[in-house]
Amino acid sequence: MDISLDTPLDADKQLIIAEVRRFVDREVIPVARELEHDDSYPFALIEKLKQLGIFSATIPEAYGGLGFDFATYVQVVEEISRGWMSLAGIVNTHVLVAYMIAAHGTEEQRQRFLPTMAEGDRRGGLCISEANAGSDVQAISMTATRHGEDYVIDGSKLWVTNGVHASVFAVLARTDPGAQPPYRGMSVFLVEKGMPGLTVSRTFEKLGYKGVDTAELVFDAVHVPLASLLGGREGEGFKHAMSGLEVGRINVAARAVGLAQAAFNDAIRYAQLRTTFGKPIAQHQAIQLKLADMATKIEAARLLLQKAARKKDRGERCDLEAGMAKLFASEMCQEVTLEALRIHGGFGYTKEFNVERYYRDAPFMLVGEGTSEIQRLVIARQLLEQYKV
């Protein structure tokens, strides 16, 4: 049965979201600008997120998690992103890997990884993209070759969020390089930090999305036991990765909504304080039109996000809905942050106000977890299937 988007969360979940909102207001917003400008990893904030249980949000209660549905979790992500989008990125990759283990792992893998991941001491990183394989996931060249009681993994992965500070990585590799189509020969492995041959070769300095490590990982003959194969069966990796990316795209949409909301909040406040020609700029029609469009687009993106999250909660395929939410929300976020900068005028271009940070963070959403162009292709493919003549 479909649940109305207006269905309220139960009281306990509302209390948790309210607590996250207070945490963001008290602990994140006051320090985010300095941490972001210094490109500093937020160790202290991570500890507080652990205490709040955020890293356990979607992990089932049976494994020590809070067991949130995604409709609740995306509201948590919105709130964190309203304070600092990078902080939500650290959580997102971790939650994505935990979801893959919970949904597709063996019981032994769930028992081994999820309880410590729920505590936040062991955090996850996702290894899919390569130098010549970004949007085209089937083009990956990393291999995992069976060798006795081990698999030997060779290759490198780019754009690994949490690449430095994660302790367990979900790694997509080819176990059957000759498979046709190529996706049938891919598998995901759970590789722990510290394995011989696994190194961080470099980190990337980025336009925005600072404070969170984005790295290249090199796997040089990394031996992992057979029990590291997610789900215990070869050839399921592409399906596992795509299922995880549905979660990732819903999360990126939530981050975009939260970031856009922060930009709108700052813009509408500034518009009521800044005066020109004898009155607050909020009283000028040109500014009012901007504010109206910004708020409308944010709300539309939020509704698309909730629809995708609820479909994921029902266990249904939601690449269409997740793609729509991610596409619209990320493009909306880019527009809203630019409008917020314009409303601030010259001050918006300085580091004295947060809008310049919002404007630098917004482009990540356009490319993270699949570019807008890829989202359009995914959406069109599903539409053509639904409306087949």
* Percent residues over pLDDT 70 in the chain: 98
- The phi and psi torsions of 257 (rounded to 5 degrees) equal -65, -45
pLDDT, tens digit (0-9, with 9 covering 90-100), for 234-274 = 999 999 999 999 999 999 999 999 999 999 999 999 999 99
Mean pLDDT of 5-27: 84
Cβ–Cβ under 8 Å, residues 45 and 52 = no
The 3 state secondary structure assigned to 304-317 is: HHHHHHHHHHCCCC
Please report the DSSP string for 153-196 in residue order: EEEEEEEEETTTT-SEEEEEEES-TT-SSGGGGEEEEEEETT-T
First to last CA, the chain: 28
Q: Is the pLDDT of residue 193 over 60?
A: yes
Cβ–Cβ under 8 Å, residues 70 and 96 = no
Angle between helices 285-313 and 319-344 (to 10 degrees): 160
**Euclidean distance between CA atoms 23 and 15, whole angstroms:** 12
Q: Is the pLDDT of residue 7 over 80?
A: no
Cβ–Cβ under 8 Å, residues 94 and 166 = yes
**Euclidean distance between CA atoms 5 and 75, whole angstroms:** 13
Considering the entire predicted model, what is its pTM?
Answer: 0.95
pLDDT, tens digit (0-9, with 9 covering 90-100), for 348-358 = 999 999 999 99
CA-wise closest residue to 296 among 270, 322, 321, 261:
261
Residues sharing a CB contact under 8 Å with residue 124, sequence separation 6 or more, in sequence order: 93, 94, 95, 96, 97, 98, 117, 162, 166, 168, 169, 170
Q: Is the pLDDT of residue 1 over 50?
A: no
Q: Is the pLDDT of residue 208 over 50?
A: yes
| Long-range contacts formed by 45-50: CB under 8 A, 24+ apart | 45/87, 46/90, 46/120, 48/23, 49/87, 49/91, 49/120, 50/119, 50/120, 50/121
Q: Any idea which residue has 């597709």 for tokens?
A: 104
Query: What helix, strand, coil percent values describe the chain, rounded to 5?
Result: 60, 15, 25
Mean pLDDT of 40-63: 96
pLDDT bucket at 14, cuts 50 / 70 / 90:
confident
Of residues 1 and 250, the one with the higher pLDDT is 250
Cβ–Cβ under 8 Å, residues 114 and 64 = yes
Q: What is the pLDDT of residue 12?
A: 81
Mean pLDDT of 44-70: 96
pLDDT bucket at 186, cuts 50 / 70 / 90:
very high
Average pLDDT of the chain?
95
Q: Is the pLDDT of residue 318 over 90?
A: yes
Q: Is the pLDDT of residue 2 over 60?
A: no
Task: Please identify every residue annotated as catalytic.
Answer: 369
Q: Is the pLDDT of residue 3 over 70?
A: no
Cβ–Cβ under 8 Å, residues 76 and 68 = yes
**Euclidean distance between CA atoms 221 and 302, whole angstroms:** 44
Cβ–Cβ under 8 Å, residues 215 and 156 = no
**Euclidean distance between CA atoms 83 and 31, whole angstroms:** 9
Q: Is the pLDDT of residue 11 over 90?
A: no
Structure tokens at 133: 């394989």
Structure tokens at 131: 């130098």
**Euclidean distance between CA atoms 149 and 147, whole angstroms:** 6
Cβ–Cβ under 8 Å, residues 322 and 253 = yes
**Euclidean distance between CA atoms 130 and 244, whole angstroms:** 17
Q: What is the pLDDT of residue 9?
A: 66
Cβ–Cβ under 8 Å, residues 188 and 241 = yes
**Euclidean distance between CA atoms 345 and 144, whole angstroms:** 53
Q: Is the pLDDT of residue 167 over 70?
A: yes
Domains of the chain in start order, with CATH, are 11-123 (1.10.540.10), 125-235 (2.40.110.10), 239-386 (1.20.140.10)
User: Which amino acid, 31?
Assistant: V
Q: What is the pLDDT of residue 4?
A: 42
**Euclidean distance between CA atoms 11 and 79, whole angstroms:** 18
pLDDT, tens digit (0-9, with 9 covering 90-100), for 81-97 = 999 999 999 999 999 99
| Long-range contacts formed by 21-24: CB under 8 A, 24+ apart | 21/79, 23/48, 23/52, 24/79, 24/80, 24/82, 24/83
| Long-range contacts formed by 264-272: CB under 8 A, 24+ apart | 264/291, 264/294, 264/295, 264/298, 264/336, 264/340, 265/82, 266/340, 266/344, 266/353, 266/354, 266/355, 266/358, 267/291, 267/294, 267/339, 267/340, 267/343, 267/344, 267/355, 270/343, 270/344, 270/353, 271/343
